[in-house]
Structures are given as C-alpha cells and as structure tokens.
Structure 1
C-alpha cells in the first residue's frame, strides 16, 4: 500500500512537472513555474497585479511570462520594452487583448460635496453631445442612472475580483458572482444606447448628419450589401459603449485626483491660480490657445496624470502574428500587458517618482517639457483615440473652475489620504469632499 502511494505521488509530481513546462510555451520569455489549471496564482500579491508584476520583474527582467490560470501572458515593464513592442513592432502588437470579465459583452467588436458626480456628469455630457447630438439636464433621471451604471462598472473593473476573474475565467463564468451583476449593468447601458439609436433611425436626415450615430447609420446603409462590413448595429452599440467607458470615468477620475492633489498641495494651487490670473484674467473664459502660455498649469495637469497612474497595468494587447521579440518567440494571439506604471514611475526619468512634483515637466527656465516616457494614454497603434479630447477637457475644466473658485477641505493638507479605492487594473480615486469658494479679485466675483 505504501509503495503504491509513493509511486502515485511520483507519477503525480511528474505530471505536474510536464504541465508546468508546456511544449506550447516554446521560447516565451522566462517566468515563474505555473501550476496545473492554477497558473501562477501563488505568485500573485494580494495587493494586486501591479505589485505582483513588480516583484516578478525584479527576478525575471523587463519582459517575462506569467500564467493567468492556463493562459500565458507576456508582461512588458519599462518604457524601453513597451516602445520596442508597441511602436517599433506596432503592427505585430496591435491586436486587442482579452479582458476576461468583459469579453462576453463586446464579443470581439468593435456646503462640502463629493465632486465625483459633478466631474462624471460634465464628461459624460460631452460624450453624449458627440454621440447623440444632445446634452442632458444634470437632474435628468436618464443621465443620473447612466452615471450610476458607469461608475459601478468602473469600480468592478478595478476590483480584486476582476483580477481573480482574469486568472480563472473558464471556471468563474459558470457561477453567479460580481461578473453577473456587471453584465446586467452593461446591458442597461446598451439598452440606453439602443433606444437613442432607434430614435436616430426614425429622424435620420441623410443630407445633414448631426452626430456620431447619424454618421454611423449612413455608413451602415451605404455598406448594407457588404457581408464583410464592420458597420452594423452590434458594432455601433459596442463602439458607443466603448466611448462611454473610455471617455467618462477616466477623465472624471483624473479630475477628482487632480483636485484632491491640489487640496493636499496648496502651494501648487496658489501658483496655478496666479498663472491663470496673469494669462487669462477674470473677464473671459479660458481657451485652448492659452495652454501654450501657461507652462506651470500644463505641468501640473501632466503631473496629475502621472501621479494618479489611473490605469497602471494598461489595456492588454495581443500579437497579430507569430513574432520574435528580444530573442523570444511570441505565438500569434498571446496576450501582452504593457505596464504603463513602470514608465510613469520610472526614477531614471522622474526625479521624485513617488511624489507629486510638477517640476517633472518643467526645464530649468520654467518652460514646459514632456518626457517621452509620459504615456498615460499608452502608445503605438492602440493609443487611446480620446487623448486629445481628454487633454482638452482637463485643461478647460481645471482652469475654468480655478479661475472662479478657491478650494476648501474639511481636512488639513497633511491629513488628506491619496490612497485609491481599488488598486487593480485601475486606480479610482478615494472619496473626498471639497468646497468651492467664489474667489475675490482673480475670478472677478465676490464671495457669496
């Protein structure tokens, strides 16, 4: 009996060793030994994927492989590795990577107040004006429900649960859980989009498209006989859904982080408002043309993006063909994670990577400069298409508010906590309160 048990254990361990170094791995970059079905779950830090990747990078270098369950994924750490892949071999790395928890949604297609609602509403309304050709009243129940859904979806996508789902999607998808609630909320957003799309179809004027949906519908009609056309109803709904995901929560969360950082750093706030008063004054609205004459404000906005590090791991890519990279062989379809945080927090390029320091974006003469490693919108062929819109929103919203209001906090600067609510695939800002006080002098208004 004892002998048979020993033989069984030897056989079992042998199978583990064979599975742990699968032939399919080929010449992939090095990485920790995976367990059957579990992959590298034992190497995953409970504080999140970013912490896990940071520890593994110290052992295996800037390019390494991990197994999310049974799925291999290649991790790119540092600006140099990401540039070599996403820019120098842009075509090969241009595939859309998988995010297991939302793959079933897209199916391969295309007094003191919490300011989060305010910033959510204004950024969502900009997307609405582009997509639907209309803005909503901020008390409109439809807008309020949309904002609630987008916020809840973003929090789930940033959560530890989503990281676990990335490792075990084949198992967890068969059980009810947080992902079930996520899909239900996404369906509500899709219903909202579909209702607007159907209304557009009834009122469509081919001679004068008013917005994105009108333009898409006209292209759908033009290519209706082409079976290979990407312009169809499902792609329209999913494209608009993507615009809401990418264009609302990310911008509003960056603004929230920005005002929280200004509350914690009143000296920075004072310098920004002094520059606003000097360049813009009190009697006109800020314009995008002002940005070139406001190097300190521009530096502060870039430092807000760098320090907040909103999407640290980056949206996954996949390679579109068998690819040789840094001496390794990456098979077609393998997932690649560009760790944006490794560039944004790189001490070789940023003097004080763990400190909020606008000087990172100023030269010795006080002129604005942008290091090439500043890549919060990623790089290469899957660069965020909304970059220019987001940069414009951040500048105009921040300068307009600070032109007219000073900021108040119920906490002393040293007591303000900057820790994000979640620390996973995304880093949503913590809840906080701010009071907007009408400015005397600079903003041209008296205190109410």
Structure 2
C-alpha cells in the first residue's frame, strides 16, 4: 500500500471515529432530536444561506417543536410553536430563566446588568429595575403625560415638512429616545442637541453590532449592585427601549401606506372618539377597538424580535421527555407563534381582523407574544404599548399619509438580520394636514 493511500485510510478512520463519538455522546445526553452534527463544525452548515431565524424555523418544520443542534461542540435547543413555548416559559419558567451567550452584547456590557444576568443576581436586578422604573413614572399618569408631550413635539416636526416627502426614521428615533431619556434622566432633549445626536449615533452603532452573527462565550458573576451592573442595566433599557419601538413605528407607517382603506377607518374612529382638538390618552384605547387591532397587527406582522434573546437552563431540565443539561443555550422562536396559520388566518398577510371578533370588538390572543412571556418577558412592555398607541394615534389625528408611489407597489418584505431583529428598508412619504 502506498503512503498516500494509507494517509487517506487513516483520515477516513479518524473522521469515522469522530462521527461515532458525536453520535454516542448525543444519544447518551438524551437531547431532543435534530440534524446530525459534524466534528468541529457542529451544525454550522445547516444554517448557511439564509437568516438565522429562518434557518431555525425551517429546521423546526423538519424536526418538530423541540429540537437540538450544535454550535461547534456545544449543544443548543430550539423551541417553537405556542404549546411548547408556553409549557417552557410559563410552566417551567425558572428552569429556562438563565441568559444564554450574547457575545456582542457581552463584549459591550461585560456580563453586567439585568439583561445579561442569571440566577439570584438577575432576580434582584429585575426586581430593582421594575421598582425603579415604576418610581420614575412607568405605568403611571406622569409617564403618559410625557409621551403625550413628546408626541406633540413630533407632530410639530412633521408639520415643518409642509407636505414634502421625507424619511421619518430619524424623527421617530429621536422621539422614542426622548421618552427613555425622560424616564432615566428626568428630561428630554431638543431634537438637534449635539449631545443627543451623539447619543443616538452610539445607540445605532451598537444596535447594528448586536445584529451580527452569534458565537459562544462564558459569563462571569459579579456583585449584584455594583456600579457596572446599574450602568449596564441602564444601557440595556436604552438599547431595547429605543430600537424596538422605533422599528415598529417605521415599519408600521410603511404598512399603513400600502392600505389607505385602513387609515380611513382609523380616521373615522378617531374623529368619533377623540376628535381633532383634544390630545389622545390611554383611556381612549378602550373605545377604539379597530385602532387597537391595527396596532396589535402591526406588532405581529412586524415581528421585530423573531427569535427572542437567548435563554439558558439554570439546572438539568426534563422537558417533554428530553434532558436539557444545565447551561444549555435555548432559543424560543417567537416568530413561529406570531405567524402560526392555526392561530392567525393567513399570517403572511396584514389583517387587523386577526384581533377583532365578529362584532368588531377587540379580541385578545394568547399568541400575541412580541414581548415574550413568563419570568423574563420584556421589562418595558407597558411603556412600549403606551408609546405605540399614543404616537400612532397622535400622528394620524393630525395627518393623512401620502405615499411616494402607488400603494400596490409598496414592498413590505424586510431583511431579517443574523442577530436579534430586523432592518426596515428606508422609505419616504408625505404627511398632509387633515
């Protein structure tokens, strides 16, 4: 036998041994089913060629609502569909309450803060954060008044465009950021303030960094109320509170341009309930079922955070007959709930009727999970809901939208990033005073 043939046989033997070793290790761990991992690479090749949320969704269609795959040599579990997501996050919420690896965010915040913590440190920081946000006005009339005030500043900026087409993304971002500033700093910024613009530029840069590819990385434990934890918690609230609401507003007004008949119905409801002089308030929401349904459908259809933030098991966890070892990264594909055809008729289409009953009354849905559910749901859910309602209603109370192209030519497809969210395509529109 020649040397080359011997080397080839040896290489084939080594690869076979590695594959057998991986197979035996997987069987012994009693992990959920999933694609077979390659040595060293794991299942990296199964994720090539499309966005990470889409790749994970397609694998779920093949392997079921609970499956596993490997990132290198480390196992990862993916949970999809409302029954499995509810079972894990509501019935076994403690077991899945850890924070999974989030390398870019961890590089930025050094494992500090409520967003990156796990265990007792996370519980204390979350309790402290909720208490502090409440004392700053979240969920109270005072924060509603701040949002009302900011909405009017935004409306006045829109008036200055005098019907000329413009890109609204910058103004949306500044308005939403000012709400967070008023909560954290106790005051708002003038939109052209250089310090404010510099802050927004840094937030935008970090958000784009967060939307890069994932990898593995260890976390460290620090004193709960160290200054670094408090600062990092504040930064996390800033990033989450600005970009998610901003993206929803941007995408929402793109959607509304495509459906002028929906705007007409909102205007009719607005004029009946609020009129054109009084400021909108949160009490109005109860008497505006159609507008409420439209805003919910915008959040469902927008699907800002399709795979949530990575979780981790804090103990060895028995879930649906499988054993998920302590420290295993777990992704909950919220997009599979928000786009489930058994829960929403034709989920690929924008339809406010998804949240209306046969009498036209607003209908809640347990499948409405854009903020996640359970013990680690979004800290700012109440604030975000308030912002979206008051911003949407205040703008539509004052203006009608004029697209720069035929509504039927407006493309609602957005790019899903390889990180935590979507990137809304830039667009322009005109706002005409009513």
TM-score, normalised to structure 1, is: 0.81
CA distance in 1, matches of 2:73, 2:429: 46
Aligned to 1:43: 46
CA distance in 2, matches of 1:169, 1:243: 22
CA distance in 2, matches of 1:22, 1:124: 51
CA distance in 2, matches of 1:101, 1:400: 36
1:324-403 superposed matches below 5 A? 324-403=318-397
Deviations 1:246-295 (A, max 9, x none): 10010011011111100011111111111111100012100000000000
Consecutive unaligned residues of structure 1, counting only runs of 5 or more, are: 171-226, 440-448
SS in 2 for 1:432: coil
Aligned to 2:130: none
Aligned to 2:199: 146
Match of 1:86 among 80, 85, 89: 89
Please state how far the C-alpha of 1:356 moved relative to its aligned partner: 0.3
Please state how far the C-alpha of 1:243 moved relative to its aligned partner: 0.7
SS in 2 for 1:65: strand
CA distance in 1, matches of 2:110, 2:401: 44
Please state how far the C-alpha of 1:23 moved relative to its aligned partner: 2.5
Please state how far the C-alpha of 1:103 moved relative to its aligned partner: 1.8
CA distance in 1, matches of 2:29, 2:37: 14
SS in 2 for 1:52: helix
SS in 2 for 1:34: coil
Residue 171 (structure 2) pairs with residue 121 (structure 1): no
Please state how far the C-alpha of 1:168 moved relative to its aligned partner: 7.0
CA distance in 2, matches of 1:65, 1:361: 33
Match of 2:107 among 101, 104, 107: 104
RMSD after superposition: 1.8
Match of 1:258 among 252, 255, 258: 252
TM-score, normalised to structure 2, is: 0.84
The 8 Å contact of residues 317 and 323 in structure 2, kept in 1 or not, is answered as: yes
Residue 17 (structure 2) pairs with residue 15 (structure 1): yes
CA distance in 2, matches of 1:104, 1:408: 43
Aligned to 1:209: none
Q: Kindly tell me: are residues 117 and 355 of structure 1, through their superposed partners in 2, closer, same or farther at Cα, counting changes over 3 Å?
A: same
The 8 Å contact of residues 314 and 337 in structure 1, kept in 2 or not, is answered as: yes
1:208-227 superposed matches below 5 A? none
Residue 430 (structure 2) pairs with residue 435 (structure 1): yes
Match of 2:37 among 25, 34, 38: 34
Match of 2:186 among 133, 147, 153: 133
- The size of the alignment, in residue pairs, is 378
The 8 Å contact of residues 406 and 438 in structure 1, kept in 2 or not, is answered as: yes
Match of 1:275 among 250, 269, 274: 269
Q: Which moved more, 1:293-302 or 1:112-121?
A: 112-121
Deviations 1:55-108 (A, max 9, x none): 211221110011123322100011111111011101111111211222222333
Q: Kindly tell me: are residues 89 and 402 of structure 1, through their superposed partners in 2, closer, same or farther at Cα, counting changes over 3 Å?
A: same
CA distance in 2, matches of 1:66, 1:327: 17
Please state how far the C-alpha of 1:228 moved relative to its aligned partner: 8.0
Consecutive unaligned residues of structure 2, counting only runs of 5 or more, are: 114-163
Please state how far the C-alpha of 1:329 moved relative to its aligned partner: 0.3
Residue 72 (structure 2) pairs with residue 69 (structure 1): yes
The 8 Å contact of residues 409 and 435 in structure 1, kept in 2 or not, is answered as: yes
CA distance in 2, matches of 1:311, 1:46: 20
